[in-house]
Amino acid sequence: MQAVGDERLNWWQTRWFVAAMAFVAAIPLLLPDVPPLVDLPGHLGRWRVQQSIGQAPWLADWYNFEWQLIGNLGIDLLVVPLEPLLGLELAVKLIVIAIPVLTAVGLLWIAREVHGRIPATALFALPIVYSFPFHFGFVNFALAMALALNAFALWLRLARLGHIRLRAILFVPLGLVLWVTHTYGWGLLGVLAFSGELIRQHDRGRNWFIAAFFAGLHCIVLLPPAILMLVWRTGGDVTGQTADWFNWRIKARWVLMIFRDRWELLDMATLAACFLLLLKGVRDPAIEYSRNLSLSALFLLAVYLLLPRIVFGSAYADMRLAPFLLGIALLALRPKAGLSIRGASVVAAIGMAFFVGRVAATTVSFWQYDQSYDRQLAALDKLPVGARLLTFIGETCRDEWTMSRLEHLPAMALTRKLAFSNDQWSMAGAQMLTVKYDPGRGFNHDPSQIVTDVKCPRQYWRPIAVALTRFPRNAFDYVWMVDPPAYDRRLEAGLTPLWRDGNSALFRVEDRRPPRLLMQDLGPYGPEYFEAISRRRAFGKASSRPGTPVPAPPPRARAPGSRPPRA
């Protein structure tokens, strides 16, 4: 009977199979015009400003955009050559499709280098290509992590072939590329490379302390980006705090949300299956753990436990690592030598079905999100180019498992119509775009676009009645309501509807005066409520994120010129 250790490659170990799995990973993103990832439309808006600010002069009245060397430039740089050739949306879509493809290839390549060939159990790691951080739209991060996985596989391969000097030469620029793409990918590569080299040095007969010393020497080639990091984070205009250490309740939640998408039961079942397989590796005599990747997983676990929730003002820092910790731990599993090829084939078939089934569910989920996008974006047909647009998007105070993914839809008006978008992030040093539209202060950047039915605890979101009563009508010409909570229609006074679909609508601002609606007629939003909101500073200064400086007043916004810019 043929055993796992035989020389002949099995069907799941061939290059054709790896190529097939890479194609399967791309399927959910093929149909949607805009990949339905929470933050991606907001990033598209930033890239539109980046590419068009020279052709649309009114954009410079609303936004500052300055190129600078920061550790978060992956797609920002890629769209520079691709946008003129393909258009912005298609270029970004193709780059985003490449992320799960590269992630799948990187995982299988790592398994091949560590185990000698791809073990059947490695297929169970593939569903992390569509993990919660990717669904959230952390696309520069996700691209960097995909590249880091492939770079780690190359690191292992060059060591296996004895090309240590070549590896040292190659990984100086590779480390720099990873850092520029996103700092997190460079950090992941550093942890994985050190753990892999530590095992290699120990296998050469050195004790753990000496092996750790030599592993550190080999990883010096990855240190140059640390100088760039120091220059970046000590800049005079850099803001953002590092906070919320050792929040064990939140860390446990991030683990439970590794596969969070649409159907909580399915997502939790996927996670449970992964943990059952990890447990099987401890108890099943036919399956074992690789020392190399087990050590890598332990290192990543230590990093996960030590990471705060907020790093340099960027939230979800620890959450982003959880899927890759799980993926590396799953890759560490392998059938022991001697297992029959029939048994390994059954494991591989189950693993492939596990991945394909997860991709099928994600495809359906993305199709449904895409339908929601198309329905709401129909409003843009009624919006002129260069409009001063204010958008309000409905949200609830409950952290519902299924996210609407509409939170940054306003940026599609910026992307397609070069209109003002009040959902852009404005934190100096974290990205190259900051908002400077002073007439709309309090309603000019994220999260001013989010509205709720009541005031949510620990959130900067406004109730819909407060938003419609308080927004500066002189600063905006149009108001776009995207699936808002129920509100008193008398608050639409002075707003002319141009488009409606259900409770969503696009209005033109006709009367610059606030609605003449008595406070006592607002029911629960009467005088006492507004007074309480004022005390909590729920609007005005409190609408800005902590640590964000108040921008200087810009020149008054100019109307679009007669010559249309390149879109």
b (16+ CB within 10 A) / e for 486-515: ebeeebbebbeeeeeeeebbbbbbeeeeeb
Tokens of 430: 């974290």
- Angle 454-456-462 from CA coordinates, rounded to 5°: 65
**Band of residue 30 on the pLDDT scale cut at 50, 70, 90:** very high
Tokens of 454: 């009541």
**Band of residue 525 on the pLDDT scale cut at 50, 70, 90:** very low
pLDDT one-digit tens code per residue, 271-321: 999 999 999 988 888 888 999 999 999 999 999 999 888 777 677 888 999
Above 50 in pLDDT, residue 555? Answer: no
Asked if 104 and 142 touch (Cβ cutoff 8 Å), the reply is no
Above 90 in pLDDT, residue 429? Answer: no
Cβ partners under 8 Å of residue 136, min gap 6? 37, 38, 39, 316
How many residues can be counted in the chain? Answer: 567
Tell me the whole-structure pTM to 2 decimals.
Answer: 0.88
Q: Across the chain, what does the average pLDDT equal? A: 88
Burial of 394: CB neighbours in 10 Å, binned 0-12, 13-18, 19+: buried
Above 60 in pLDDT, residue 541? Answer: no
Cβ partners under 8 Å of residue 66, min gap 6? 432
Give the separation between CA 514 and CA 471, rounded to whole angstroms.
8
Tokens of 76: 């920002």
pLDDT one-digit tens code per residue, 470-508: 999 999 999 999 999 999 998 999 999 999 999 999 999
Above 80 in pLDDT, residue 549? Answer: no
Give the separation between CA 551 and CA 564, rounded to whole angstroms.
29
The pLDDT value given to residue 521: 52
CA distances from 16 to 11, 23, 112, 346, 350 (A): 9, 11, 14, 19, 18
Above 80 in pLDDT, residue 78? Answer: yes
Share of the chain above pLDDT 90, in %: 74
Indicate the range of 90-99, 140-149, 220-229 predicted with least confidence.
220-229
Q: What's the rounded mean pLDDT across residues 55-64?
A: 95
DSSP-H helix ranges across 8-73: 15-26, 40-52, 59-62
